[in-house]
Amino acid sequence: MRFAFAVPCSKCPTTTLKSGAVRSVVMATPYREGPLYELRCPKGDKAIVQLGNPKHEILFQMGAYSLLDGIYRDAISTFGSSLEEFWEFSLQVIAASCGVEPLPLPRVRGGRRARFETAWRDVLETEPAVLTAEEYEIRNRVMHEGYVPTEEEAFDFGNRILVRVSPAMQTLRWSLQQAFGVASAAIIAEARSRLNLGDPTAGMYDAMILHDNESMPYRRLADYMPHLRKLDKLFDSLPKEST
């Protein structure tokens, strides 16, 4: 499993290179269930890092890495999961805006899309981030019919989700600002309690594609591939003990 993000070790001294740049010893990790990550640097120092990105952003990033690897079936299924996880996140934010307690609400699998669409239209009075039945068909064929998609189909499906979820996330963040914070905190608190790892020693947000695209909506998946390749090379050069 590839490294996906890294943080500097706060206990190891930094090194100043001849160019004047500062190099830190880092702790790198693949994506996990999160949001807490137990990390260890190559010298054995430990940290508990809290990753603040909502799960749909992480899933979308994983789908992009599947594109990079040419595993197009995994890319499409993971992009689909990202969209559905965004619906789940939105329902939690909307519930918070209506004063529902306690949060997070229990997950209910059946009828999530219909509940999301209704709640979104009622509260935000805009069109919700969903795909048409025709657009979503490729995901169903991959998941249920063993269909092997092409590279073009995988990129197209991911981009359709990207251009819907990014502006919708921005709408949530600005229109329901207080509720957004309340729901996010409740989701993280529940996960922290479940993982029982103790308090985090550091926190971060990773610059993932969906996260970045809120401020750069013109970008598409193809624009990010060179960046992901550079990250891959960087993480591949790190000492393996950093996991």
Q: pTM for the whole thing?
A: 0.90
Q: Are 165 and 56 in contact (CB under 8 A)?
A: yes
pLDDT for res 12: 83
Q: How far apart are CA 27 and CA 140, in angstroms?
A: 38
Q: Which residue has the tokens 């805006």?
A: 97
pLDDT at 18: 45
The pLDDT profile of the chain, 243 residues, written as one tens digit per residue, is 678 888 888 888 765 444 544 467 788 888 988 899 998 888 888 889 999 999 999 999 999 999 999 999 999 999 999 999 999 999 999 999 999 999 999 987 788 999 999 999 999 999 999 999 999 999 999 999 999 999 999 999 999 999 999 999 999 999 999 999 999 999 999 999 988 888 898 888 888 898 877 767 778 899 999 989 998 888 877 664 443
Cis peptide bond prior to 104, omega within 30° of 0: yes
What type of residue sits at position 156? D
